[in-house]
Amino acid sequence: MKKKSVLAFTIAIAITSTSFASGIKYDSTKVRTNEISLNIAPVATGLMGASIFSPRYSLSYKKIVKEKNALRFGASYLVRNSEYYSYYNDNYSVLFSSDSVQMRRYFKYDAGNKIQISAGYELRWGKHKLKHFAGADVIGGYYKTRTTWEDKEYYLTITPNQGDTFPQWKQNTSIPVSLARETIAEMFYVGISPFYGVRLDISKRFAMSAQVGFDASFDFGNSTDNNYYAGTYTETKIISFNFETSGLISDLSLIYKF
């Protein structure tokens, strides 16, 4: 439903912009060779009451070169939804259980947000105000993940519910939560990000674009594992290959030309 909402919003923008642009006259022979674009997809979906599972906040600069193609440079901040990256968040195992007390160990994974920079080349084609573009960016960035195992004590209570009674486990908040284990990974990455999109010139200064794509990256870094329960500490080097996308439409940008 959320993806359909984003797609519907993009189509509405394109239709509205086409109607608006058809009534504007400007000198199309003058090519403005600089563009700054801001990704408004997270804001747009938020105003519609929807959301993107991993919103990307980005700003980019494009320099028009041969035959209106473009060199592009960008910086982005990707908010990664930990629930999407781990289906085991807030799951627990029972360490000890009696008739009235349980000791539970909870698992939690924080995927960590990404800081990314990019540089690439964009090919453009099409006539009039509506144009297509495609290409690829070389990307690089940093993120930090954290995994924790926490021990919590629960006790059994009898709580009334519409005249009935039933047993219910509640956390004993008088006893502090104990951190049993913590793993932290600090990662750097390099990779490539292919993309395809369409853009609509609204006026001589402004345009809109919608883009789809994905990030394929080679990730490398170090991980530390503090097992407080067992009294051990280890460090590990990590190398991995990752594939990531921000959803159906990864970028919906407002463009300013100068």
Give the residue with greater pLDDT, 1 vs 70.
70
Given this model, what pLDDT does residue 81 score? Answer: 75
Average pLDDT over every residue of 36-52: 81
Given this model, what pLDDT does residue 131 score? Answer: 93
Average pLDDT over every residue of 107-136: 93
Q: Which of 12-21, 46-55, 86-95, 185-194 has the lowest mean pLDDT?
A: 12-21
**Is pLDDT at 102 greater than 80 in this prediction?**
yes
Given this model, what pLDDT does residue 250 score? Answer: 75
22: helix, coil or strand? helix
For 127, other C-beta atoms within 10 Å of its C-beta total 6
Average pLDDT over every residue of 71-75: 97
**Is pLDDT at 114 greater than 80 in this prediction?**
yes
Total domain count, the chain: 1
For 154, other C-beta atoms within 10 Å of its C-beta total 19
Average pLDDT over every residue of 50-54: 69
Q: Which residues form the domain of 156?
A: 2-257
Residue 175's φ and ψ, nearest 5 degrees, are: -105, 125
Q: How many CA atoms lie within 13 A of 60 on its CB side?
A: 29
Given this model, what pLDDT does residue 244 score? Answer: 83
The rounded percent of the chain whose pLDDT value lies above 70 is: 79
pLDDT in tens, 174-231: 999 999 999 999 999 999 999 999 999 999 999 999 999 999 999 999 999 999 999 9
Given this model, what pLDDT does residue 171 score? Answer: 93
Tokens of 12: 């509405």
208: helix, coil or strand? strand
Q: How far apart are CA 13 and CA 56, in angstroms?
A: 19
pLDDT in tens, 137-164: 999 999 999 999 999 999 988 765 555 5
Handedness of CA 234, 238, 244, 250 (dihedral sign): positive
Tokens of 68: 């209106």
**Is pLDDT at 120 greater than 90 in this prediction?**
yes
Given this model, what pLDDT does residue 168 score? Answer: 82
Given this model, what pLDDT does residue 23 score? Answer: 42
Q: How far is CA 155 from the centre of its chain?
A: 38
